Amino acid sequence: MKNTKKLHVGLLFGGNSSEHDVSKRSAHNIYDAMDKNKYVVDLFLIAKNGVVLSSQASRKIFDGADENKVVANEMKKIDFSKPLANISNLNSVNDIDVFFPIIHGNLGEDGTIQGLLRLLKKPYVGSGILESAMGFDKDITKQLLTYHGIQNTKYILLTPANYKQWNYAKLSHQLGKLIFLKPANQGSSVGIHQIHNQSEFESGLKDAFKYDYKILAEQAIEGPEEIEISILGNEHPIASQLGAIKVPKQDKFYTYQNKFVDASQVHFEIPVKVSQKLTDRITKMALDAYKVLGLKGMARADFLVSSSGEPYLGEVNTLPGFTNISLYPQLWKASGISYSDLIERLIKLAYQEFDRQSKLRHDFEPLD
């Protein structure tokens, strides 16, 4: 890390996914947790139309200005006839030492922003291009987990090319009477539906296809308990204590509503009281998955534990939430790492990975 009085951090947030507002809340918490004696922070909001706003405009929205009005005003200042106009406001990157992207979902977790930051030759918090893309795609994640013997739920992939071959009866014969439909590349429980019959299958699939062209029809786990674990590190990651999510009975699973809109009926048990055997098994599965996917910096792994005590890895989140109720920082706090210390560790890990990658790159020398 550079030996300067203050490190200049570029905090990237927003994005054009359904998790835009969640990202804004995460950015506020990260900003507040940063030690201003150590860091100077520039804000860059990616608007819902995919345009990177100037630091000044981003600050206005960050401080509570009407986003639609600020964005409309910013659009008038950008010459869209020029190439790369939508990211032209990143011209100040020469002054930024390290980026902290906290863009949940599309653009942030799928490798897109990581590719841009790689081109800019800047360190950034979190996993790389391929690793982010693999972790974001539930289908690819589950294929890799299965190949490496990490237990996860059985599923059938539905696409525009094959979905007409399937109906509820065929799916339930292979997956059971209760089925979950999930967009492969989506987060925060958006587009997820519980399916009990053909009518729900048709309506749920129609909605899920609004978010992705790959839909997982996934096996439901009997009497599941949702357990989370946070991972931190690069080549030698560490795991937090386990936490459990207790959702209202009427919701039946952890919805977008009770994640980010009204969590008053949700109970978090941190740390959760489970057997040491189950704790060790989940911890090993999470660390193994982290390494299999090649993740860096951070991730939260979500598990379902059946009524018989069997853990199934549901998914990994490579840029987990940092809102007031987000489990990633809460689990680390319960494990002895404060919010500000967590941010500092993530930035140090970004530099370590950048230095490691830099040693692997060299100019191409053509053969004689």
Reported as a single tens digit per residue, the pLDDT across 74-88 is: 999 999 998 889 999
Q: CATH top-level class for 154-219?
A: alpha beta
At 239-268, the pLDDT tens digits run 999 999 887 554 554 444 444 444 556 789
ω into 271 cis (within 30 of 0)? yes
Instruction: Report pLDDT for 256.
Output: 46
At 122-166, the pLDDT tens digits run 999 999 999 999 999 999 999 999 999 999 999 999 999 999 999
Planar angle of CA 37, 94, 96, nearest 5 degrees: 25
CA-nearest of 285, 300, 127 to 229 is: 300
- β-partners of residue 7 are 39
Instruction: Report pLDDT for 324.
Output: 86
- Mean predicted lDDT score pLDDT of the chain: 91
CATH of domain 222-337: 3.30.470.20
At 25-35, the pLDDT tens digits run 999 999 999 99
302 is in an annotated binding site: yes
Higher pLDDT residue, 19 or 45?
Answer: 45
89 is in an annotated binding site: no
What is the mean predicted confidence (pLDDT) over 343-357?
Answer: 96
The H-assigned helical ranges of the chain are 20-33, 55-62, 67-75, 112-119, 129-136, 138-147, 168-175, 198-208, 256, 276-292, 327-334, 339-360
Residue 362 has pLDDT above 60, yes or no: no
Q: Which helix (H) or strand (E) holds 360?
A: helix 339-360
Higher pLDDT residue, 325 or 4?
Answer: 325
Instruction: Report pLDDT for 106.
Output: 85
Residues known to be catalytic: 19, 188, 326
Q: What percent of the chain has pLDDT over 90?
A: 80
Q: How far is CA 9 from the centre of its chain?
A: 20
3-state secondary structure 125-140: CCCCHHHHHHHHCHHH
Cα separation, 299 vs 118, whole angstroms: 20
> E-assigned strands of 2-124?
7-14, 39-46, 98-101
Asked if domains 7-124 and 222-337 share a fold, the reply is: no
> E-assigned strands of 69-178?
98-101, 155-158
At 270-323, the pLDDT tens digits run 999 999 999 999 999 999 999 999 999 999 999 999 999 999 999 999 999 999
What is the reported pTM?
A: 0.90
**Which architecture does CATH list for 7-124?**
3-Layer(aba) Sandwich (3.40)
At 97-110, the pLDDT tens digits run 999 999 998 889 99
At 185-219, the pLDDT tens digits run 886 577 899 999 999 999 999 999 999 999 999 99
344 is in an annotated binding site: no
Kindly report the number of other CB atoms within 10 A of residue 136's CB atom. 26
Domain residue ranges in the chain: 7-124, 154-219, 222-337
Instruction: Report pLDDT for 223.
Output: 83
Higher pLDDT residue, 47 or 362?
Answer: 47
